[in-house]
Chains A and B, each alone.
Chain A
Amino acid sequence: MRIGNKASAGGGRWLLRACLRCLLRDRFRGAERSGNTTGLAQQAEDRSEATVLGGVEALEYFLQQLINGVTLGAIYGLIAIGYTMVYGIIGMINFAHGEVYMIGAFISIITFIVLGLIGVTFIPLALMVVLLSAMVFTAAYGWTVERVAYGPLRGSFRLAPLISAIGMSLFLQNYVQLVQGARVKPMQPVITGGFEFFQGGGFTVRLSYIQIIIVLLTTALMIGFTMLIQRTALGRAQRACEQDMGMAALVGVDVNRTISLTFVMGAMLAAVAGMMVTLYYGVIDFFIGFLAGVKAFTAAVLGGIGSLPGAMLGGLLIGLIEAFWSAYFSVEYKDVAVFVILVLTLIFKPTGLLGKPDIEKV
Chain B
Amino acid sequence: MTRTPLLEVDHLTMRFGGLIAVNDISFTAYDREITAIIGPNGAGKTTVFNCLTGFYNAPVGRLRLTGARGEFLLERMDGFRIAQKAGVARTFQNIRLFPRMTVLENLIVAQHNKLMAASGYTVAGLFGLRSYREAEREAIDLARSWLDRLGLTAQADWEAGNLPYGSQRRLEIARAMCTKPVLLCLDEPAAGLNPRESAELRELLTEIRDRHRIGVLLIEHDMSVVMGISDHIVVLDYGRLIADGTPAEVRSDPAVIRAYLGEEETDQIPPEVARDLRQEGRA
Contact = CB atoms under 8 A, between A and B. Distances in A.
Nearest to B187: A362
B50 interface: yes
Contact of B55 (A244, A247, A357, A362): A362
A186 interface: no
Given A359-B16, A359-B56, A362-B55, A246 B46 contact: no
Interface string B8-22: 000000001100000
Interface stretch (B66-74, B112-120, B243-251, B275-283): B275-283
B281 A362 contact: no
A244 B282 CA distance: 8
Q: Which of A244, A246, A250 has the most CB of B within 10 A?
A: A246
B272 to A, nearest CB: 18
Nearest to B100: A157
Contact of B282 (A246, A357, A360, A362): A246
B16 A244 contact: no
A12 to B, nearest CB: 44
B92 interface: yes
Contact of B280 (A246, A357, A362): A246
B45 to A, nearest CB: 12
Contact of A362 (B16, B17, B46, B283): B46
A136 B56 CA distance: 46
A360 B96 CA distance: 14
B50 A246 contact: no
Nearest to A248: B281
Interface residues of B, number: 11
Contacts of A247: 281
A250 B279 CA distance: 13
A252 to B, nearest CB: 14
Q: Which of A246, A357, A359, A362 has the most CB of B within 10 A?
A: A362
Contact of A246 (B55, B92, B283): B283
Contacts of A246: 280-283
Contacts of A359: 16, 56
Contacts of B282: 244, 246
Contacts of B56: 359
A359 B47 CA distance: 12
Interface in A338-362: 357, 359-360, 362
A250 B55 contact: no
Contacts of B280: 246, 250
Interface in B240-283: 280-283
A246 B282 CA distance: 6
Nearest to B17: A357
A283 B282 CA distance: 48
A244 B92 contact: no
Contact of A250 (B16, B92, B281): B281
A333 to B, nearest CB: 36
Contact of A244 (B17, B46, B281): B281
Contacts of A362: 46, 50, 55, 92
Contacts of B92: 362
Interface in B50-77: 50, 55-56
Contacts of B283: 246
Contacts of A360: 55
B191 to A, nearest CB: 15
Nearest to B56: A359
A95 to B, nearest CB: 25
A357 B57 CA distance: 14
A329 B280 CA distance: 54
Interface string B90-118: 00100000000000000000000000000
17 contacts: A244-B281, A244-B282, A246-B280, A246-B281, A246-B282, A246-B283, A247-B281, A250-B280, A250-B281, A357-B17, A359-B16, A359-B56, A360-B55, A362-B46, A362-B50, A362-B55, A362-B92
Given A246-B283, A357-B17, A362-B50, 5 more contacts: A244-B281, A246-B280, A246-B281, A250-B280, A362-B55
